[in-house]
Amino acid sequence: MNRLSVFNAFNKQLIVDLGMANEVTPDDALDANVATLAEALIAGAPQARKAAKDLITAVNGRRIDDVGICGTAQRAARQRATDEAQDGIFAVVEKRRPAWLLEWG
């Protein structure tokens, strides 16, 4: 089922307010918004993107409980301690591009 077409039957802003969608995009701006989102995803740190995918896979379909929350927090802490994450933090402070962006141009 095309989820986008389902939203046409509802108040689009309500769908966003309920957290079921991130934003409402007019048809004539869809291509530009998709390109912007793709560029933002590509600009992310490669190890962080992989860690995010792994986390989504690990928690998909599982109950939200203390064990899951603790495991997620531990994953986040490990990721923030990586060289890649530290470089990203220092890049912001030092107003420079992080190393992974230099690799991609």
Q: Please indicate, yes or no, whether the overall pTM of this predicted structure exceeds 0.85.
A: no
Residue 3 has pLDDT above 70, yes or no: no
b/e per residue, 37-62, with b = 16+ CB within 10 A?
eeeeeeeebeebeebeeeeeeeeeee
Cα–Cα distance between 99 and 74 in angstroms, integer? 25
Domain segments of the chain as ranges: 3-42, 45-104
Q: What is the pLDDT of residues 83-96, one digit of tens each?
A: 999 999 999 999 99
Q: 88: closest CA among 41, 47, 35, 38?
A: 47
Per-residue pLDDT tens over the stretch 46-102: 999 999 999 999 998 888 899 889 999 999 999 999 999 999 999 999 999 998 886
To the question of domain 45-104 being in CATH 1.10.12, the answer is yes
For range 33-43, the mean pLDDT: 86
